[in-house]
Amino acid sequence: MGNYFDAMHNGFVRRFQAAHLLPQSATDELFRHYDEIVNVYPRNDSDLVSSHNDLKPQNIRFDGNRIWLVDWESAFLNDRYVDLAVAANFFVNDEADEEAFLNTYFGEPAGAYRRARFFLMRQAVSVFYAALLLLEASRAGLSIDADMTTANFRQYHQDLIANKIDMLTAEAKVQYGMIHLREALRNMRTQRFKDAVVRIGDTHIGT
């Protein structure tokens, strides 16, 4: 499959960028911050693991004793933070959830570096989803309004968990794509994003 950013993110994101489905004023800041992630995020390091890559609730089963993951069609060797970021969209609602989530996964306190890398991957995943979904909706002939009203990020994911949304429709893809775009941009405007870019960059650039 190759590096995740090169094979998946840059492929779909750059295609979305070139398609000009939204006004430049609606995406310039997003792409500028996305490039910050691309420039500092590590490639081809030792943190690649067997990854599901589509950890939505419909692919997670609980039999009363243990959790089972199903539908491994999209699986390949990937950055461990991709699965963590995708699952977090549905199950991590605040900083306390995030701390418990990461500490449980790593079996120890996650620490500042892991939290920064997780945070950057969450934004990259949101940009990827926005690009993928809006491109798919455009191919279905649906126009995209940059000023459209969108649902709350958390509430929309709760509705997805409850199977209240049919993601096969072009309308749902536009809605979910714009939700991810706006969530990524909101997070990219925070001090936490700036600090995460610096921390990851200082750790990996030049090494």
Q: What digits encode the pLDDT tens for the residues 69-97?
A: 887 777 677 889 999 999 999 999 999 99
DSSP secondary structure, 148-203, as one string:
-----HHHHHHHHHTT-S-TTSHHHHHHHHHHHHHHHHHHHTSHHHHHHHHHHHHH
pLDDT 10s digits, 33-58: 999 999 999 976 677 877 777 777 77
Tell me: pLDDT of 100 over 50. yes
Cβ–Cβ under 8 Å, residues 51 and 83: yes
Q: Which fold has domain 4-204?
A: Aminoglycoside 3'-phosphotransferase; Chain: A, domain 2 (3.90.1200)
At 126-173, the pLDDT tens digits run 999 999 999 999 988 888 999 999 999 999 999 998 989 998 899 999
Using an 8 Å Cβ cutoff, are 5 and 124 in contact? yes
What is the rounded distance in angstroms from the CA atom of residue 197 to the CA atom of residue 117? Answer: 9
- Residue 147's CB is within 10 A of a number of other CB atoms, namely 7
- Can you give the residue ranges of every domain in the chain? 4-204
pLDDT band at 65 (very low <50, low <70, confident <90, very high): confident
DSSP SS3 for 51: strand
Residue type, 33: H
Backbone angles phi, psi at 115, to 5 degrees: -65, -40
**Six-digit token string for 37:** 């992630």
- Is 109 in contact with 80 (CB distance < 8 Å)? no
